[in-house]
Every structure is written in structure tokens, then in C-alpha cells.
């Protein structure tokens, strides 16, 4: 079946990669379907769940040129059972009215309209060249904003945004993950909430205490250990890490740490999803499957690498 993902605008390349990972599993980077005006159409039988960087996903019933939307909508069978709601998402400027399109469906089905708690959401997504009619299969109702670092019981300013951490977890397509630079536990929280078995390490006892306290807020109890990432990485399907960097530290000074960590990780896992403050060709033994850049603020562009042991 065809699933249309409507992506969040920020981190758009990562958003598309995350949707592909949820749809196809490990090896997702081989699927070259492009993003079109914030939408991604994938042929998959997997229904998405717990994504960080998509707004919603809808199972495509029909598609047409935008100018033919009304006649197409009037000619097809819409699977309305019980109550429904129509949601019009316009990726470009359009004169289409959600009310008028909903009326066409009502005239054919006579089903009950329920704007608050519908049994089905009928999506109409309009781009410059295509209009899609679909039945909603997933909505991103995760409250990522409430999990931002400054709102956690033991906050720390270096933590990445929870939606981004969630996306990195999903890129791994792993059921067991380890964050060797776990800090205050942001990646561990998102991994745990998406039903992964997670563990974390850090050389700072204080940071591990923060991670434990923050994870406990969500009733999560990952295995945590004081450990140097260049000496201990447990056997897991994937390592996921936003590698450390200091505000006044030149990125080049951190390269030996990154190299030593990846050399150690190669002994325990076949996959690594890492975030870096600079470009970094991985050492021998690792193959780059995907590389993304993402603007964080005026002095920071992050590099995210998807690595597989060669």
C-alpha cells in the first residue's frame, strides 16, 4: 500500500530518512524516493509509530491533479464507517476549502461528522502537482516539547531536542541500543518510550545521576554504568550517540576521541548513529550509509552519520 508522510519542515532530510527507516527497516538508505514539498510517498505495508520528525501519515486511497480533486473525490468510494473528519493540508497556496471537500464526502456517505473524536480522519493533501486522498493511519501526538531538557527533573543544556533524539533512535532500526555518552539521558528516554531496550554509559557520576532521575520520570530504568566509551561498549544492535564537544574546544581536538570510540564500538556492534560538531571521515572498519547536516544555531551545524561495520 502507499503511505504518504507529511514531514516536519525542520531537519527535512532526517525526517525523510526516519520515515524510510520506519517503513523498510535497516537498509532504508537504498530507497531513493525524494521529498516533494514536505511530503514523502512510500510503498510499504508497515504502519508507522513513534516518529519524531513527521506530522502524520495517511494511507493513499486516490490521487489526482489538484484541479481534478472535487470530481475525483465525488467518484471514489471513501471507507467511512461511523464518524469522520476531513483534514485539508495544503503544501502550496490553494483556493480549496476544507468545508466544500467535506461536503462532497458527506453527500455520498451521509456519515456523521465529528470534529473532536472521529473514528476516521480523511486526509486531503495538496501539492503543486498532485492531490492525495487518504485515510489517516498515524498522527504524531507525542508531547516532545514537555520532554525538552530544561523541563526535566535534572536538566542539562547540552541535550538535543527530544524529537531529534527520537529520529536518531529510529534510524538505527534496532531493538537494543546503547548511548556511550548518555549525559542527562535524552536518547535513553526516547529509546525507552519507543520500546527499545536501552543502556547508557558516561564518565561522569553526576551525569549518570541526572540520567537516572530523568528516566525515572517516565518510569524507565535503563542499565547505566560509569564507563569510558573507549573502554566499554556492551553488545547491542546499535550504538546511538551525540558525541561530546566543548564550547571552547576546537573540533579537531576531539577527533582522537571519536576515532578511539568507534574502534572500540566496532568490537560490540554493527551499527552506529552518531552526531558530531564537524565533518569526520570514520576510521577503517566503518562504512558511511548516510550523512546529514542540520543547522542548530548560528555557530553550530551538526553532522549526523549512519554507520555500518564493514
- Regarding whether 176 and 122 lie in a shared domain, the answer is no
Average confidence (pLDDT) over 126-153: 95
Domain with 57 in it: what CATH number? 3.30.2130.30
- Regarding whether 155 and 135 lie in a shared domain, the answer is no
pLDDT tens per residue, range 98-123: 888 988 888 887 788 888 899 999 99
- Regarding whether 228 and 83 lie in a shared domain, the answer is no
Type and span of the H or E element at 291: strand 286-297
Give the chain's radius of gyration (CA, Å). 22
CB 42 within 8 A of CB 34: no
- Regarding whether 102 and 163 lie in a shared domain, the answer is no
Measured CA distances, 206 to 82, 133, 193, 239, 245 (Å)? 54, 52, 23, 22, 17
How far apart CA 277 and CA 293 sit, in angstroms, is 10
pLDDT tens per residue, range 165-178: 999 999 999 999 99
**Boundary of a domain, candidates 76, 111, 139:** 139
**Which region holds residue 90: left if phi is over 0, alpha if psi is between -120 and 50, else beta?**
beta
Domains in the chain, number: 2
- Regarding whether 264 and 132 lie in a shared domain, the answer is no
- Regarding whether 135 and 149 lie in a shared domain, the answer is no
- Regarding whether 90 and 167 lie in a shared domain, the answer is no
Among candidates 219, 48, 242, which has minimal Cα distance to 164? 242
Pairing of strands 39-43, 286-297: unpaired
**Boundary of a domain, candidates 121, 139, 157:** 139
How far apart CA 42 and CA 269 sit, in angstroms, is 29
- Regarding whether 148 and 132 lie in a shared domain, the answer is no
- Regarding whether 99 and 155 lie in a shared domain, the answer is no
Type and span of the H or E element at 137: strand 131-139
Q: pTM score, two decimals?
A: 0.92
Name the H helices within 155-204.
Answer: 162-172, 186-193
pLDDT at 298: 65
Helix axes 186-193, 162-172, angle to 10 degrees: 60
pLDDT tens per residue, range 14-54: 999 999 999 999 999 999 999 999 999 999 999 899 999 99
- Regarding whether 149 and 102 lie in a shared domain, the answer is no
Type and span of the H or E element at 2: strand 2-7
Helix axes 186-193, 205-217, angle to 10 degrees: 30
Name the H helices within 124-184.
Answer: 162-172
Cell 505495508 -> residue: 45
Helix, coil or strand: residue 69: helix
- Regarding whether 87 and 42 lie in a shared domain, the answer is yes
Rounded percentage of the chain residues whose pLDDT exceeds 70: 96
Domain with 200 in it: what CATH number? 3.40.50.150
Using CA of residue 288, residue 294, residue 296, residue 298, what is the dihedral sign? positive
**Boundary of a domain, candidates 83, 107, 139:** 139
pLDDT tens per residue, range 278-290: 888 888 899 999 9
- Regarding whether 69 and 200 lie in a shared domain, the answer is no
Q: Which three cell numbers stand for residue 165?
A: 533524539
Domain ranges, residue 285: 144-309
Amino acid at each position: 500500500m502507499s503511505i504518504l508522510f507529511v514531514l516536519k519542515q525542520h531537519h527535512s532530510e532526517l525526517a525523510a530518512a526516519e520515515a524510510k527507516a520506519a517503513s523498510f527497516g535497516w537498509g532504508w538508505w537504498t530507497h531513493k524516493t525524494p521529498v516533494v514539498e514536505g511530503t514523502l510517498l512510500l510503498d510499504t505495508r508497515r504502519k508507522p509509530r513513534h516518529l519524531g520528525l513527521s506530522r502524520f501519515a495517511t494511507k493513499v486511497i486516490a490521487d489526482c491533479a489538484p484541479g481534478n480533486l472535487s470530481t475525483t473525490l465525488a467518484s471514489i468510494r471513501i471507507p467511512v464507517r461511523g464518524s469522520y473528519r476531513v483534514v485539508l493540508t495544503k503544501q502550496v497556496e490553494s483556493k480549496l476549502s476544507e468545508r466544500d471537500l467535506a461536503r462532497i464526502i458527506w453527500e455520498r456517505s451521509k456519515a456523521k461528522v465529528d470534529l473532536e473524536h472521529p473514528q476516521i480522519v480523511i486526509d486531503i493533501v495538496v501539492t503543486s502537482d498532485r492531490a492525495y486522498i487518504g485515510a489517516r493511519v498515524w498522527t504524531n501526538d507525542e508531547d516532545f516539547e514537555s520532554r525538552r531538557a530544561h523541563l526535566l527533573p535534572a536538566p542539562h543544556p547540552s541535550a538535543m531536542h527530544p524529537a531529534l533524539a527520537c529520529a536518531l533512535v529510529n534510524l538505527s532500526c534496532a531493538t537494543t541500543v546503547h548511548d556511550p555518552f548518555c549525559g542527562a539521558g535524552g536518547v535513553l528516554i526516547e529509546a525507552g518510550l519507543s520500546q527499545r531496550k536501552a543502556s547508557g554509559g558516561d564518565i561522569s557520576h553526576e551525569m549518570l545521576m541526572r540520567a537516572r532521575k530523568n528516566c525515572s520520570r517516565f518510569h524507565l530504568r535503563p542499565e547505566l554504568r560509569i564507563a569510558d566509551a573507549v573502554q566499554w561498549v556492551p553488545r547491542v544492535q546499535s550504538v546511538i550517540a551525540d558525541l561530546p564537544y566543548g564550547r571552547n574546544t576546537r573540533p579537531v581536538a576531539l577527533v582522537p576521541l571519536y576515532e578511539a570510540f568507534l574502534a572500540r564500538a566496532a568490537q560490540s556492534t554493527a551499527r552506529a548513529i552518531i552526531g558530531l560538531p564537524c565533518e569526520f571521515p570514520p576510521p577503517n572498519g566503518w562504512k558511511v550509509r548516510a550523512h546529514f547536516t542540520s543547522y542548530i544555531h548560528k555557530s553550530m551545524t551538526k553532522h549526523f552519520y549512519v554507520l555500518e561495520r564493514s
